[in-house]
Amino acid sequence: MAQTIQSSNFDEIVMKSDKPVLLDFWASWCGPCRMVAPTIDKLAQDYEGKAVVGKVNVDEENELAEQFKVMSIPTLYILKNGQVVERMIGARPYAELVEKLDKHL
């Protein structure tokens, strides 16, 4: 299952990670977010130990959503060494996310 990312644990989990980090910016009322949620959880399971997979609830974490300039959801970011290396807007299929993550392992 994907980790819940909040302002309080963002630096520790995301910025200090020595692995690539996939962040899913989502909200409970968002249909496409609910559609991609099982994919995100599967990635978290499949990439355990190789990458960090986290979810940021934009309704609860306005500061993080603003920091990443999230205008629509779901928005997915891949960070490496604290820097954004990929940005995807909208639900994405599992295979595409695997391809993007593998590129940064």
Instruction: Report pTM.
Output: 0.96
- Domain holding 54, by residue range, is 3-103
CA distance 9 to 55: 12
Residue type, 65: A
**Which CATH number characterizes residue 35's domain?**
3.40.30.10
**Residue matched to tokens 């995301």:** 14
The tokens for 46 are: 């499949």
Q: What pLDDT, in 10s, does the model give residues 22-71?
A: 999 999 999 999 999 999 999 999 999 999 999 999 999 999 999 999 99
Q: What pLDDT, in 10s, does the model give residues 69-93?
A: 999 999 999 999 999 999 999 999 9
Q: Which residue out of 2, 30, 51, 53 is catalytically annotated?
A: 30
Q: Give yes or no: 30 in active site.
A: yes
Please choose, from the candidates 94, 77, 70, 90, the residue with its C-alpha nearest in 3D space to the C-alpha of residue 15: 77
What's the domain count of the chain? 1
Q: Which residue out of 14, 33, 56, 97 is catalytically annotated?
A: 33
Please choose, from the candidates 45, 50, 3, 46, the residue with its C-alpha nearest in 3D space to the C-alpha of residue 24: 3
